[in-house]
A and B are shown apart, each in its own frame.
Chain A
Amino acid sequence: MIGAWRGGIVDSKDRGVTLLSEGTRADATSFDEAALGRILARHPARQAALLPILHDVVATFRYVPAEAVPLIATHINCTRAEVHGVVTFYEDFRERPPGRHVLRLCRAEACQAMGGDALALQAERLAGCPLGETRADGKLSLEAVFCLGLCAVAPSAMLDGKLYGRLDPATLKLMIGEVLT
């Protein structure tokens, strides 16, 4: 999915498009029970499988549809409340579909030390929405992330799965400009 390997160097732009088309292949707003059934069939019917199940659900639908919760609960033999509790606890298990593109900006200390605060303000201004929200036209979501492990090449960000280090205002402007056109 991510990264290039010997003999198979993937063009980064293609990769972004691939990720996007994977994400939007399923209509993000409509719940597909058959698709969920296929996911559940891949996992054992026990609670320990809950996080792997939810990761697969997000990979397919880009979020956790409310309709999926009771079906997952039945599969792993626990209550809806328990599944809901897990969904709401973890950042990755979004309850609403994100924008077509997702820009995650690192807001942790190492990036703060390299001008991360100013970049965050710039991103909010260019994107027209605050961190943690999606633009009204659904083109872009801005998210804060606490550490991508790129602290020696700070400040860093991730746009649709592609990593950016030594991020500067000019590059950020290009990145956001590109996804908004």
Chain B
Amino acid sequence: MSDFAASLLADLRRKARSAEADVARVFVPCDAAAVAVGADEVAEAIATEAMTRGIALDIIRTGSRGALFLEPMVEVETARGRVAYGPVGVADVAGLFDAGFLTGGDDPLRLGPPEKIPFIARQKRITFARCGIVDPRSSTDYTLTGGWQGFDRALAMGPAETIETITRSGLRGRGGAGFPAGIKWKTVADTAAPQKYIVCNADEGDSGTFADRMLMEGDPFALIEGMLIAGYAVGATRGYLYIRSEYPHAIATMTAALQSARNVGRLGRSVGGAGFSFDIELRVGAGAYVCGEETALLESIEGRRGQVRAKPPLPAHKGLFGAPTVINNVLTLAAVPWILKNGDGPYAALGTSRSRGTMPVQLGGNINRGGVFEAPFGMTLGELVLEIGGGTASGRRIRAVQVGGPLGAYFPPALFDTPFDYEAFAARDGLIGHGGIVVFDDTVDMAHQARFAFAFCAHESCGKCTPCRIGSVRGVETIDRLLAGDRPADRLALIQDLCETMKFGSLCALGGFTPYPVLSAIKHFPEDFLAETQKVRMR
């Protein structure tokens, strides 16, 4: 798919180029992570250098291919396909021109064809097929790379068969809970109501996760098409896309893409000429982590404090403004067009046991090769961290990896044989969450990390449930007393008891899952939970 997309685009652009004289095409990512390491400055330097040398040049800003350790990664279009260079700094630009990079010339920064870079070649890119290849704001690029075909297929097969297709594909919610998407959609479809909603949860607050952001910045139309298909399938006419305010680049790209989709008649009245109307309103979060919890997110859209609702009623029955509502994560919805276009069979054929399809795994923290790595479920944690990620960035020994965000468990290297799927992680008292993996080297203090888990929960608690609101504060205090040498054994027992209470007494995952990082740190790294004085003696 991605090769096809690239060759199609290359072909089209070659034609366009021959029509308008010889203009070289250079691709520079505008993904926030690339921008944070200087992609804007590199793009500007390339434009300036080309002007100085009298070279006609078209700079196209794309999303990122996901190999973030190579950013800023610049690609040029040559007669033999694209050639990548990276990581490129402003100081490297003149040298690249000297080396003839516009025609794929040799240079120490030359990486060759991007699809042959090992980090990219080993992936199975379905959700991220277009990311890094197309201009994310161009609806033409989207259409030319197979866009909207999933929606057209849905229209042809009707709502019921669309939902069946999603159910058969085995697609589960990528936000963390892993609930089967088809069943959620069917529940909403079967609930009679004059108004229904599709809500996309793009409040990607977990540290170590950034796939939603990259998808929105690199292929926003895939998300729009996914929401459109969901709306058609369940009979909703209105969608809300809730993006956290910490993602200004994603907000800008999605705003442009939504307007573009309206302009080309893919949003608005009678989409696809089928008498089905659907539009999407973008909402911006306001710095509250708990709004990533689906019911708190609904409260936030309704103009209230992001406080969690008790379930039942499920949002599928009574959600936004009391109406039946599908709430899905960005990655869930962005996978939908591919499944509709290619059929449920090819998607379900990927993965392992009950985790079907691909997962865009995010490698971050102290890692040599960080980025988004999309692969079928089932690779082991060790393969992801060591083979793909290349170990730590610091070159030191890995001591722990946290999987699934701030509410995910810390795993030691002894558990690196755990396959990356929902059930395998649950069986080892962990969770894959939204697919983020954060690596720590041997300088990490796990008692400090456990304390941070409590402190983060205290900071972000919506305040509704006592175990979360008060328990998290008491957790911090108790760890402090333990480390100060105040009856450490008793304190440890107390923390474990407190975690039980939080786990079973909280309404949502914030209070309920904070015990995961705490208990896993205690279980796998007990030596860090001694009083500071004892730790000193041991060293």
The CA of A47 and the CA of B305, in the complex, are separated in Å by 11
Q: Please, which residue of chain B has its CB at the minimum distance from the CB of A15?
A: B40
Question: By the criterion CB–CB under 8 Å, are B36 and A108 in contact?
Answer: no
Of A11, A47, A145, A165, most B-chain CB atoms within 10 Å: A165
Tell me which of A90, A110, A156 contacts B36 (CB under 8 A).
Answer: A156
Question: By the criterion CB–CB under 8 Å, are A108 and B207 in contact?
Answer: yes
B161 beta carbon closer than 8 Å to chain A: no
The CA of A89 and the CA of B291, in the complex, are separated in Å by 11
**B41: A residues at CB distance < 8 A:** 12
B416 beta carbon closer than 8 Å to chain A: no
The CA of A157 and the CA of B208, in the complex, are separated in Å by 15
The CA of A154 and the CA of B207, in the complex, are separated in Å by 11
A2 beta carbon closer than 8 Å to chain B: yes
Of A76, A92, A156, most B-chain CB atoms within 10 Å: A92
Tell me which of B35, B43, B208, B305 contacts A109 (CB under 8 A).
Answer: B208
- Contact residue range for chain B? 35 or more
Query: By DSSP majority rule, is chain B's interface helix, strand, loop, or mixed?
Result: mixed
B61 beta carbon closer than 8 Å to chain A: yes
Question: By the criterion CB–CB under 8 Å, are B286 and A152 in contact?
Answer: no
- Contact residue range for chain A? 35 or more
B237 beta carbon closer than 8 Å to chain A: no
B135 beta carbon closer than 8 Å to chain A: yes
Whole-angstrom distance from the CB of B146 to the nearest CB of chain A?
A: 22
The CA of A100 and the CA of B271, in the complex, are separated in Å by 46
Question: By the criterion CB–CB under 8 Å, are B40 and A3 in contact?
Answer: yes
Question: By the criterion CB–CB under 8 Å, are B210 and A151 in contact?
Answer: yes
**A113: B residues at CB distance < 8 A:** 365-366, 438-441, 444
A166 beta carbon closer than 8 Å to chain B: yes
Question: By the criterion CB–CB under 8 Å, are B438 and A47 in contact?
Answer: no
A50 beta carbon closer than 8 Å to chain B: yes
B residues 26-54 touching A (CB-CB < 8 Å): 30, 32-33, 35-37, 40-41, 43-44, 47
The CA of A50 and the CA of B444, in the complex, are separated in Å by 42
Whole-angstrom distance from the CB of B224 to the nearest CB of chain A?
A: 19
Given A9-B59, A152-B210, is A89 in contact with B305 using a C-beta cutoff of 8 Å?
Answer: yes
Encoded as 1 (CB less than 8 Å from any B CB) or 0, chain A from 165 to 176 comes to: 110000000000
Question: By the criterion CB–CB under 8 Å, are A146 and B137 in contact?
Answer: no
The CA of A153 and the CA of B213, in the complex, are separated in Å by 14
Given A48-B303, A151-B370, is A112 in contact with B44 using a C-beta cutoff of 8 Å?
Answer: no
Q: Please, which residue of chain B has its CB at the minimum distance from the CB of A78?
A: B303
B residues 47-98 touching A (CB-CB < 8 Å): 47, 58-61, 68-69, 71
Question: By the criterion CB–CB under 8 Å, are B284 and A55 in contact?
Answer: yes
**B32: A residues at CB distance < 8 A:** 148-150, 163
Top 5 A-B residue pairs of the complex, sorted by shortest distance between their CB atoms: A152-B370, A151-B364, A91-B287, A108-B207, A165-B36
